[in-house]
Structure 1
């Protein structure tokens, strides 16, 4: 049969399948199945006959292939009936053919299957004998599943826009199939049985053609056909079982559903479970004789997981008698009890030999809100208070503003008693409350109209949503206060009167506002989303790794661990070798090779004498200073280390130099320096021992100096009023008498010479300083020196003749 003849026949697919133009889809399917079975058997028999003859007459090519033309005709015929069925089973392509006679795909249609890409015969045990290597030909034809798979086929766009969003409340099972996939053909009846059993319970099913949606198949990781995945909450889980059956599929669905959807309860735990309605969800209890929670209960709990918390009580357990007696449960029936805030009696009861999924959903849908639910998200607000533009059908939403504190629970309880007392129609009235601290922007938008309270907390506002973000509202004038029962009853009457007035079609709410969307209080933060993602990934590892993949994964993990261990051992040995080399060089007094030493700024303290006088004082550059400590041979070992410690923080300052001066050798230089500033002391003596511990800051260029001494008025204001001699210059070493010329005040000899029998002695003791304490205040003085707050003594010239 030529290619032109084949195309001519394809122009009338009704003749190929032998059906009339008015034939329905079932008649087309039956005709296609009969023809496919017929030509499949002919083609299969031809290949088997050729295989047998190849052994009987191995060298006679004519006898080896007596039915070669028949095989080609069977293959072409099989492809023709398959293409014909594809046209007639697709309503859009069938309509195009009926109107315009078009049998081929156009750019407006999906791409037709590529039959040239079939290179393997998955199920045939004689595959190797029918390949081109054995002198035969490639077996190219398609079974093209036309019943269940094509009926449930969806596109990648439908997968993204429909399946993924719906998987938040309904688990989906999706099968990938393709052309020329004989395992898919064998899996079709099992898939149909699974679909018929689980679809009524609430499981979603769909199929995807892997060749038509190759991008989606690669994204999900489809590596063989048929390939099954499960989707829950938008997360893809792979079906890795070697066999496909109803029981294995049920186990797979149980495994991919979230854990703890239904809590097992008994007499000791059911009351605590019912009292946890503070999470803003009602409670539903499933009661039957099964020890394992049925699939229909799990799927119902997953569908209502945002609004209903579900529990299961098995009547086979010993500790359920009290519950059965309290709620009058029939042990022979399956029951469902629904509770709101009042746990003493259910708000809805359902009992039957077998609870139907749709009936359970209808009951829960009618009672899925608490008596006084909390506005915790915009989605909940849309469900409780939907928009309504017609005044005759408007729904009034009564909102109590509270804070998330236990002190406001009595007000919420009073609102619940008000709702029970008057039994308002749910179609016209909805009562709810919110937390002011969590929905501040929403409440703020309602605080500008007439009658709005200054503090909205514990007030009631009545809303009518005319548009998604625009409301009409009115505030209840009185505060919802429970401290005074009489006042509370009066407030309840005011609210009832206001609602009775507003429900009339002629009444209009006085205020308008544009509200913002409510904050989702249950939304996870960034850290919560990361943790959830990690848990989902961890939970799916067992499903995504098969037994065949365990060994490669373990091999890779062990290889990485071994490499890390070897690297750690090598690093440890290298560190030990380096330490031994460094220790060897240190013993020899050498610097270890490769040692990098940071340049450290050293502090040098020079002696101020004749040789260094010009460099340290007279020839100093502008802006430079020299800090000089006055000491003696006896006090130098004590004072110089302390001086070093005080000036060490300033070692990096390049404008400073540090020195010490021996008072025994250069007392005359020091006296000439002081006399330029203290002109009143011309004939006074200077005691070298009282000069010990003095620190001078010398500015050689500007010709001034600053003085530090333990008894200097700048250093100790505390001593200024006690010793007036300090003001005259005694702290610098001057004295009028030589009474204590031979006494060492700083060394404490005056203390040993005097007693402490009089107040004068105690006052004298307070003025005694020891060498260890002479430089205690030097750090503070240095800070003031660099701040420029110390007194400057200007001079005419620097004295000569320093030794």
Structure 2
């Protein structure tokens, strides 16, 4: 209570007391605390709204429809509120202050991924879901484990991944663990155990681990005991990498892609140093065959031989590879009974190979197979002898989806030319391509637009020529951006569309049947057709600013004023059409720097229905 204003006469006591209370509230509320950790303040949106400046002495702040509906004070427009959720990217937006005070200092110990985008960038819209999957994938690199979850995690090896478990006395996974976990995620699935948690006692006792130490355990198909373990007070990153690299494959891994093939069966040109892959051809449903093969491997004389690797492939998914290997076999019955092949990979897909005569189908087959296999492998390792056949294999089918980073690179490659055009396009100094918004052009310009924003100026027949001339002059510098389109809407024909748009923006809680067209001319809408939101430039706000700076300009007309109560038509013209767009360029700046509020809708009104 030191800073309570009733007990402390310091002039700053009230402000400090308020901040202390806010700090306690933030620490006690997990959601607000998470927002503070992410943004540096408890409400990213409130902070962005409060931090905006205005060259007009604040004429465009607050609700952009304030004053439009002065008879309906209980209704507000949807700025990402209930029922209108922000996108994944928008939820994680930061500003420069947060970057400088939080992100940059922490980046020396904690890795960050920064993504810069523009609201009017169509390529960014396409990239956003890929980034969302990437970030979610990063978040799930390390699974949080306890006594209850551990066994299920270790039994998940059938996805062809080893299991690695990090132990540390911290709730969050440190970068020292997260970085190698992501690097090896194509081969190993990782989990994390907080050794200070209450629900990990059985796990620590099971593997005889000290709660104060940092540990790493690696598991293959045998979930009862790790194939490698590392435990000490401090572990170096290089030591972690060495342990993972030496144990990144299961006892019997599957060749599930070309990259797996190249890792499991490394090329060796010299015959005396050849490396052999013993490959079992197995159907997905034939787990019994693979179990027999594993039982043999655990006792095999070649289990720890660096020049011999045992693996298997699925017959269903790698049919092209199997057909190539069967070309030299007797296939009169269209199917060979042999299912174990020895491969020596000489160069990339150039290999020498031969099938073992004994197939692995029954339990007793393992004895005949072992005798033939071990005798032939021993002979090949101790000589420069080649195998029976040579061939060039097709690439293995990738049974996994491409890694997210590669998919992103592919997208950048595909979009490269378009992005280059977007950046390097120069404005046409002679004209602006300005399209009339009609039912025929509506689909292209709004509903199915591949541009980021379509700028629409609202006109009537009387003001049209002057407004469009002024509008063209203002937007001419913006024509350099291919992400923008420019159009106009005739209010005499489509005031109903604008009415429906506004009604949707307030959740259809208000009927707007008496909109005065004279108060709508000069309004500019920036429509994002894909994301279903728009920005609005209001001439009424601009008029207020003009009136404050020019005593000769009469009062603006109220949105719901009747024609009898409104200023005269002459007064509307005295407002001067040319002046309605005087604040537009500054409004554009706010749209592009992200400080202008978005208004979200459920769907775009049908222009044909009005």
TM-score range, shorter chain: 0.3 to 0.5
**Given the two structures, how large is their TM-score scaled by the length of structure 2?**
0.47
**Larger RCO of the pair (alpha carbons < 8 Å, separation 6+):** 2
1 or 2, which has the higher helix percentage? 1
Compute the TM-score of the two structures, normalised by the length of structure 1. 0.36
